[in-house]
Structure 1
Amino acid sequence: MRLAIISDIHSNVDALQAVLADIRASDVQHVVCLGDLVGYHTFPRETLAVLRDSEIRSVHGNHDLMAVGRLPRDDCGPVARKAIRWTQTVLTEEDRHYLASLPSELYPQRSILCVHSAPGDPLVRLRTSGQFYGEYLRIGESDPEVRLCFTGHTHVARAMMITPRGEVLCPLERDIALDPAAFYFVNPGSVGCPRDGDYRAAYAMLDCGAQRLSFRRVNYDPTRVLREDRRHGIRVEFGPFVRRSLRSRTLAAVRRVARLIDVLP
């Protein structure tokens, strides 16, 4: 079985469509989303419609919970708060019911756990080796069959490996052969709002039979989404897109940046 893991779409339907097209071309049997379907960008209804129509299973993220009033908006920054307030004005009753019905965790297989950030806490940011090791111990106590935990929230694609000796390592490869004796935390990165200096939509793919994990990036044109954000007064940081495009020095990249001059804040 080949499993695609997406996360942190944040109402960026154009990035989502690009990722799903890449997934469809890759012979993937199942897709799971790690939450934060809405927030930041301004196509929440369109994003939720695509996810429902595609029958993609998802857990909830903190922005999803804020959108339906199950978390206070004070738990995020001013741009996120403004986006959530706007999102709440456009969601339909069906959208709100869908977001409220999302679970906190999913198990694509018995040994694979999918959560937004950490089990039971959609707000904590797993960044340090100590944090990952602490979550590894907690998961081991509550669910010892789990060997792989997919987690989002930070918008940064990375893998953390915990060896049988308790060492916490960070493999740098984009294509990883999984050690069956080790435990892994895997963040697929963000579909709609990456924070690792690469504007492209991010996701991860797991070949369960071959036990190989790969991180994927997908090009798309963010102009329409950014223009709509600006029309509603929402200013999402997209500087990495411009910096990466200018560094590439291609005519296509220059044209992309030119189109964005009047769109970026």
Structure 2
Amino acid sequence: MRYALIADIHSNIEAFEAVIAHARAHGVSRFMLIGDLVGYGADPEAVLERCMALVECKEAVAILGNHDALACARFPCHLNADAQAAIDWTIMQLKPRQLEFLRRLPLMHQENGITCVHASARTPESWRYISTGTEAFESLQAAGTCWAFSGHVHDPALYYSGRDGHMFAFRPAENMAVGVPDRRNWLAIVGSCGQPRDGLTGARYAIFDLERQRLSFFRIPYDHRAAAIKIKAAGLPPRLALHVLGRA
């Protein structure tokens, strides 16, 4: 089975559709939507409708992210002014059934030796970032599975356990499969589909081939200008459009 690991879509339907199409072309049969479906972008309804359809037909599992939790008033989380403005706007756009979908999302999902959680598996409702080997180790220990996949940190990273128990980290190359054998423990930050933070455009996501135990990271081109124009037209903070354009 091949899994598409998609995090931090952030109401960017153009990026999301591009990733779905790319994943299907690469033989993906299961989509793991690893939180922050909404926030920042201008298409929360379209993104949620797409997510709901994938979940309903059993093609996907969706996980709660911190922006999703704020949108449906489930868990508290501090956001900066731009992010909070986007959430306030998002809440006004969503229909009751879309809010109910968010309220029902789990904080974590496990299957086939895989854990998917938006932030750290150690108290996931606290939205801890994973940016060090120690934080990756704590999350893997809490997850209790061979592989863990997370978002929240918008830049991709891969952590693994050495024979002496120490955690090692590296930045994975794009479009290149990495062996992730089950004799070790692995935690991957899959990157942001809809709100990049590295000064580049493109939708980030990863594909995990369970049988071959290989993980590939991708950056997919899409109509980022259209997504940015919508953000500006909605009256959302201009910096959010600049992120999409790779200028902030």
> Structure 1 residues 242 and 96, CA, compared in 2 at 3 Å: closer, same or farther?
closer
Give deviations 1:189-224, integer Å, cap 9, x for gaps: 011002233321011101111111100110011122
Amino acid at match of 1:104: L
- Once residues 54 and 121 of structure 1 are traced to their aligned partners in structure 2, the CA distance between those partners, rounded to angstroms, is 24
1:62 to partner: Cα distance = 0.3
Map residues 202-241 of structure 1 onto 2, 5 A cutoff: 202-234=204-236, 235=238, 236=240, 238=242, 241=245
User: In 2 relative to 1, CA 181–242 (structure 1 residues): closer, same or farther, beyond 3 Å?
Assistant: closer
**Residue pair 1:157, 1:196 contacting (<8 A) in 2 also:** no
When the two chains are superposed, the root-mean-square deviation of aligned CA atoms in Å is 1.8
How far apart are 1:242 and its partner, in Å?
4.9
Q: Separation in 1 of the partners of 2:101 and 2:109?
A: 16
Amino acid in structure 1 at the alignment position of 2:146: R
Is the 8 Å Cα contact of residues 7 and 33 (structure 2) preserved in structure 1?
A: yes
1:76 shift after superposition: 0.5
CA 1:93–1:242: 2 relative to 1, 3 Å? closer
Counterpart mapping for 1:49-88 below 5 A: 49-55=49-55, 56-72=60-76, 75-88=78-91
Does the aligned pair in 2 maintain the 1:199–1:238 contact within 8 Å?
no
Which secondary structure state, in structure 2, belongs to the residue aligned with residue 238 of structure 1? Answer: helix
The answer as to whether partners of 1:33 and 1:58 remain within 8 angstroms in 2 is yes
Please tell me the residue identity of whatever aligns with 1:217. Answer: R
Return the offset for 1:30: 0.7
Query: Which amino acid counterpart does residue 91 of structure 1 have in structure 2?
Result: L
Query: Unaligned stretches of 5+ in structure 2?
Result: none
SS of equivalent to 1:213? strand
TM-score by length of 2: 0.90
Shift of 1:64: 0.3
Q: What are the ranges of 5 or more consecutive residues in structure 1 without an aligned counterpart?
A: 244-264
Amino acid at match of 1:135: S
1:20-169 equivalences under 5 Å are 20-55=20-55, 56-72=60-76, 75-109=78-112, 111-119=113-121, 120-122=123-125, 123-139=127-143, 143=144, 146-169=145-168
Paired amino acid for 2:214: R
Aligned-pair CA distance for 1:108: 3.1
Q: CA deviation at 1:72?
A: 3.6
Query: Partner of 1:252 in structure 2?
Result: none
Q: 1:202 to 1:127 in 2, by over 3 A?
A: same
Match of 1:253 in 2: none
What TM-score, normalized to structure 1?
Answer: 0.84
- How big is the shift at 1:237? 5.3
Residue aligned with 2:170, SS: coil
Q: Is the 8 A contact 1:39 1:83 kept in 2?
A: yes
Matched positions, count:
237
Assess, with a 3 A threshold, how the Cα gap between structure 1 residues 101 and 128 changes in structure 2: closer, same or farther.
Answer: same
